[in-house]
Amino acid sequence: MTKILVVCGNGLGSSMIVEMNVNSILKDLGKEADVSHTDLTSAKTEHADLYIGSEEIIGNIDDGKKNIAKLNNLMDKKELREALENNL
């Protein structure tokens, strides 16, 4: 199953909201994935098929090998939907 990891600085607030939005959008798209959220430090060692986060945060784990979706606005569901459609 596809693993999606939503990342924010502390892994408590914005990433949890985005995780809920990801699950809602996946349901609309008829797709399934294992979605979770975490902080930046943990994300560096955790494997996922897709990492999602704000551009300034997620850029810290971009090693050129990870599939990363950088969002300008974490709360913009349209941008999030486009990121999911383009990366799954």
Catalytic center residues:
8
Q: How far apart are CA 21 and CA 42, in angstroms?
A: 21
User: In terms of residues, how long is the chain?
Assistant: 88
Q: Which of 60, 62, 65, 15 is nearest to 37 (CA)?
A: 15
Q: Which residues of 50-75 are buried (b: 16+ CB within 10 A; e: fewer)?
A: bbbbbeebbeebeeeebebbbbeebe
